[in-house]
Structures are given as C-alpha cells and as structure tokens.
Amino acid sequence: MTAAIDHQVTDADLAVAFRSGDVPVLATPRVLALCEEATVAAIAGHLEDGTTTVGMRVQLDHLAPTGVGSTVTAEATVDKVEGRRLTFTVAAADERGAIAAGRVIRVVVDIDRFLEKISQ
C-alpha cells in the first residue's frame, strides 16, 4: 500500500507562519503533516468501518529547504503491519530533489472508544 500527495507551498506553509523558525522556507511541521497525509491516503479503504489510525511515533529528517511556489510530493509506503501498528516509510521531494525522509508509526483505533478518552 502506497500513496503520494502533491502540495504547492504557500506563505501559510512557511517556518515563520508556523513559528518554527525565522526563515521563509517550508516548515518542518508542515513537511511532517504532508507525510502523515500520505500515510492516511496509503491505507484509505483498507480499514474496518468505525476505525481510523492515529499517529504514534515519527522519525523525520528534514534534508533541504523549499520555497514558496515549489511543489512538494510526499510519499508513504506501508512497510510492516504488526497487530494494530502500521509502520510507513515516508519521503518528500520538490523539483530539486529529496527534502525529507523518515518513518511514521500509526495505530489503528476504534473511533468511538478513542474519542471517549478526551471526555474523561
């Protein structure tokens, strides 16, 4: 299972907008969000009704800067399924090449039971 998503970088995606840095480049938290979006897309249609996945662990190396107007492609591939844990390899690239690489672990949860935890 694999998926790729494309995103054109805008001012709203920059480190200064995310308050994660002082330079006008794609923010690391935004790169991570794009990679997580790709993980969700990779398993779309493969989960039982009433379930979803939530993020558990992230390892991400942000390798190169990306500016406004560039198109970023984030890709995710399921590497391993261990019970409820799904391990993904993720990568992101712009027109110049690789900008990020890493791994994401997501856990399958029952939506209703998971949401009950926030009201306790």
Q: What is the mean pLDDT of the chain?
A: 97
Q: Which residues in the chain land under pLDDT 50?
A: none
What is the model's pLDDT at position 119? 83
φ, ψ at 11 (rounded to 5°): -60, -30
Q: How far apart are CA 99 and CA 77, in angstroms?
A: 17
3-state secondary structure (DSSP) of residue 6: strand
What is the model's pLDDT at position 37? 98
Hey, what domains does the chain have and what are their CATH numbers?
2-119 (3.10.129.10)
3-state secondary structure (DSSP) of residue 118: helix
Strands (E), 9-70: 51-62
Q: What is the pTM of this model?
A: 0.94
What is the model's pLDDT at position 9? 98
